[in-house]
Structure 1
Amino acid sequence: MPAIDSAPLILVLWACIGYLLGSVPFGLVITRAMGLTDPRTIGSGNIGATNVLRTGSKLAGASTLILDAVKGAVAVLLARFAAGDDSAQIAGLAAFIGHCYPVWLRFVGGKGVATFLGVMLAMIWPVGLLTCATWIAGVALTRVSSVGALTAAILSAGWAMLIGRFDAVLVIVLMTLLMIWRHRQNIARLRAGTEPRLGERP
């Protein structure tokens, strides 16, 4: 963590704002607006971009990916502008948690991949770019979304240390551990050799 300069109430405030921003279920909002199948009733039942893609709409999948990333980035950027880096990291972590456990959907949300990428890009853009590149490479090589996501998350703390941003490692590790937990069923399928590739249904 960076030096804690903000008052505790300020940190709590930005944690709440970040959480509420992260809780916006764009996958559900977009599929309803486009008249598509509720993503919670198909595939993995997840509201993230990969499962939204299984509705058959690439536009819906891409829109979900972008907006889920944007909400994480907005939480970080707003907090940094208003209160500093300590609040920005708290807001980013809270946005990530909000996506995974949104209050509006009884705390059943996505796996956090796009929001993680958005937070990383806004928090430390060089690390964000390296993390995005890792994710793209992992997906391109394997055609398995979870492999790209997990590889990118696991390596992200290393990218931060490589460029000397040790102040962000704790928050990155916490998000990575939560992402691994959210992907526990994917990991089980990967071990069993049954994890679907992009475009397939689990």
Structure 2
Amino acid sequence: MEGLLIAAAFLLGSIPFGFVIGKLKGVDVRKHGSGNVGATNVARVLGKPYGVLVYILDFLKGFVPTLAAVKLYGPESWTVTAVGLAAVLGHMFSPFLGFRGGKGVATASGVLFALSPFLGLLVLGIWFAVYKLTGFVSVGSLAAAFAAVYLAGTLGLPFNQIFLITLVAVLVLVKHKSNVLRLEEGRELKV
């Protein structure tokens, strides 16, 4: 049963909603804006309502399977860790897009809310504050990744959850390498 849930989380995570919605609108979002299939680029290319829709769908890709694992196996189960990680990896390395995908922020936030709604709200607040201060979604995302790790430890979440949050934060940071380079060069796009 655990293996099935992990596989389902990866497959659900790999559905590229930004790409699908773009195609339904007659646009390949990979060829516009930053070229990413995530919510931020969809908002740039198709408009904010579509970006919000993609964010919600990508959030649910992390939230639903992780919450199911928490309910079925308990919050301290390593199955929860594997399921949350599988959802994020599916989003980042979608087999439907040649093992390319998004940066994982929306899906990771869904995982975070499934683990701890309180922590999810704190991290969302930090993301929003940094985004509003800087005008860059990427800077908010990087700050949120660091904050999630710090706060998970501070709030005393189970070790398996701290491990998952740390691993996902590292993956999100790595996926934002090009954003960091563009920030350094003054070429990073704002929404």
Matches within 5 A, 1:144-183: 144-167=136-159, 168-183=161-176
Among 134, 137, 141, the residue aligned to 2:133:
141
Structure 2 distance, partners of 1:63, 1:80, is 25
1:80 match = 70
Contact 1:100 1:109 in 2 (8 A): yes
Cα distance per residue 1:101-157 (max 9 Å; x no partner): 011111110001111111101111111111111111111111101000010011101
Matching of residue 25 in structure 1 with residue 16 in structure 2: yes
Matches within 5 A, 1:1-202: 10-33=1-24, 35-85=25-75, 86=77, 87-167=79-159, 168-198=161-191
Contact 1:89 1:123 in 2 (8 A): no
- Give the CA deviation at 1:88: 2.1
- Give the CA deviation at 1:25: 0.8
What amino acid does structure 1 have at the position aligned with 2:61?
K
What amino acid does structure 1 have at the position aligned with 2:165?
I
Q: State the superposition RMSD in angstroms.
A: 1.4
| Matched residue count | 188
Structure 2 distance, partners of 1:81, 1:36, is 40
- Give the CA deviation at 1:36: 4.1
Structure 1 distance, partners of 2:89, 2:38, is 14
Structure 2 distance, partners of 1:166, 1:125, is 14
| Residues 14-23 or 114-123, more deviating | 14-23
Contact 1:75 1:92 in 2 (8 A): yes
Structure 1 distance, partners of 2:46, 2:21, is 13
What amino acid does structure 2 have at the position aligned with 1:141?
L
Between the aligned residues of both structures, percent identity stands at 40
Contact 2:34 2:41 in 1 (8 A): yes
Secondary structure class of the residue paired with 1:107? coil
Cα distance per residue 1:33-83 (max 9 Å; x no partner): 3x2421111011110011101223221111001110011000111222233
What amino acid does structure 2 have at the position aligned with 1:75?
P
Structure 2 distance, partners of 1:196, 1:52, is 13
What amino acid does structure 1 have at the position aligned with 2:22?
T
Contact 1:36 1:55 in 2 (8 A): no
